[in-house]
Structure 1
Amino acid sequence: MTETDLNTPAVPGPARRHTDTDTLLEVRGLKTEFATAGGRVAAVRDVSFSVRRRQRLAIVGESGSGKSAMAMSIVGLVQSPGRVTGGEILLEGRNLRGLPDKEMSRIRGRRISLVFQDPMSAFDPIRTIGSQLVESIRAHQPVSRRVARRQAADLLGEVGVADPEHRLSDHPHQYSGGMRQRVLIAMALANSPELVIADEPTTALDVTTQAQVLGLLDRLVTDRGAALMLITHNLGIVAGFCDSVQVMYAGQLIEESPSRELFRSAAHPYSRQLLDCVLRTDRRQQGPLATIPGALPDPTSPPHGCAFEPRCPRGKGNSLCKSTEPELVQVGARGDGHGGRQLAKCHFPGVHEREETT
């Protein structure tokens, strides 16, 4: 069953479209594995994609599909027993793979920032919020501690923390979950990165706080001109917030599409089923909510053919689907009018129209 969130918070207005096609980040053939007692787990399997400047890209899929492993691979935070085993991670053409830790540390936080899924574990519990923000600022900017503290207070005020100068002296446990997430966003944006990767930034937050965090990301990313990769399983967020979507399954990228096209006409059966699992508020629910039968394949023994074949209503039992891994191919000729293409990793991709909202 999919983990798609059924509580869809109000999000900022319609997703913005971009005409700037300059590539900021390009990932080519990325492979990440984890050594376990049961064998090697292929967490990310030959994933390729690019991120444009100012783009809002959503990465969606069930838990275990490889979304977070891919994000950690990009910023060089995969720890033993995991390791990146193949591919290239190009930031403006420069390959980040193989860079010394010291050089990667200068890029991480300065040019690429990561908003972690769990804000509590992202902070040192015995140090104040102010000391951690100041450290993050001074690691990338040649400023005094006093100047950095002033910047830290300004950042807290910018993300909506009341009395920011006083709250700098508080410890992480003295902040609510929503406020910790705000501080984590402030830390990610402290050095004006060009790319912000937000890994499930609204998980475990109530619907009202989710909307506030999304509004904060919307305003800050827009004002600062950064690109955003939003990792989530909440398709309700994606619909109004992101301009393009990539669907992951079993460590692979199985569909890539402009956001509007995906919601109107998903091409991969898995994407179609994910959308069917979302509770629609614009029409009466007929019968129980749809679910996806079965489970993700064993990551220690990836299938030879299509990874989704055992759960696929279209290709289950088909000899081609069972024996041959499909290619990521373009579906039709439709796009978003700005160069966006719809791609699906399927032997029998089909565009299935969704019911239009009245």
Structure 2
Amino acid sequence: MGAQQHRQRQLPLRPAGPATVAALLAWYEAERRDLPWRYGPRKKADPYRVWLSEIMLQQTTVKAVIPYFQKFIARWPTVAALADAPLEAILQQWAGLGYYSRARNLKACAEAIVRDHGGAFPRKEAELLALPGIGPYTAAAITAIAFGEKATPVDGNIERVVSRLFAVEQPLPGAKCEIRNLAATLTPARRAGDFAQAMMDLGAEVCTPKRPSCLMCPVQQDCAANARGLAEVLPMRAQKAARPSRYGVAFLVQREDGAVLLRQRPEAGLLGGMLEVPSTPWNDEAPARREALRSAPVTTSWVAVPGSVVHVFTHFRLELTVYRALVPADASFTLWAEQERCRWVARRDLHGQALPTVMKKIIAHGFSTNG
């Protein structure tokens, strides 16, 4: 059946509204996902668990987050415990979740809740928004899910569900404001948290980005996109600009006793506060060998490891050549001017360090030729 014929289908029997909300809540009670940060329907959740899970879920899947969440809760079961934790320990536990600024804000937010709110999360969106690392979505999610207050969080799943329910054909990101307003028209005064989680689950399990299971959907008869044959193409998205590439050289230094040289990155900026393999700046063009060696952390003989390391960040693609060197354990040699940020770490202990994924890739590649 062609697209034109799809568009000529009969419109929904009823527009999305109170009946949609009732149907979704009933579906949620029967089909909700069992997640470690959730409590049952009609029950208020732990604000700490809601906040922690929502911060972790930004840019990351539920499946990937679950083991991280469980380890965090086991190690720091309360917001007060997290506030007391060393930042480096939090960064180590966070490694692999990306966006390390979120881990730093996690610590800062926990400290602010203990210091300014007596260890209890504030209930109102405006107060939550004043806390480090909490934006409009997270504030609304905590308000609705943890406290049952009327608030409308709109994540990617809810955005997709609403765009289909109301057949919003304007491409994203331009349609975000309209979608948020439409979502707010559905949010009930009671059970706002259950409704938000029902919408999230519907988007994750039924109203999926590709091949939505419309026949299994509890609100199919309310869905304008389904009636018009548009479910599989909504939400529409504006064409993205090409992701730029950056290049550099990483310097993997190993002592004869097995220790590896690492450097702590500045607190501000990408991967702030994390440990790294020292490298040149990441620029639009790969540096020549002579230029690259000006950034080397030690003066020694360097060997280029065949191949390269490629890592894709949200806004750019990074490609690094790796230079490797072996230096004596007891010899005297000079580190560069930033040696106060450098440390030697035994190779066997690298797994316990606050190393982001790209740095783990560099180390693995550097040792791939002869371990």
Higher strand share: 1
When the two structures are superposed, what TM-score results if normalisation uses the length of structure 2? Answer: 0.26
- Structure with larger RCO (C-alpha < 8 A, sep 6+): 1
Q: Max radius of gyration: which structure?
A: 2
Higher helix share: 2
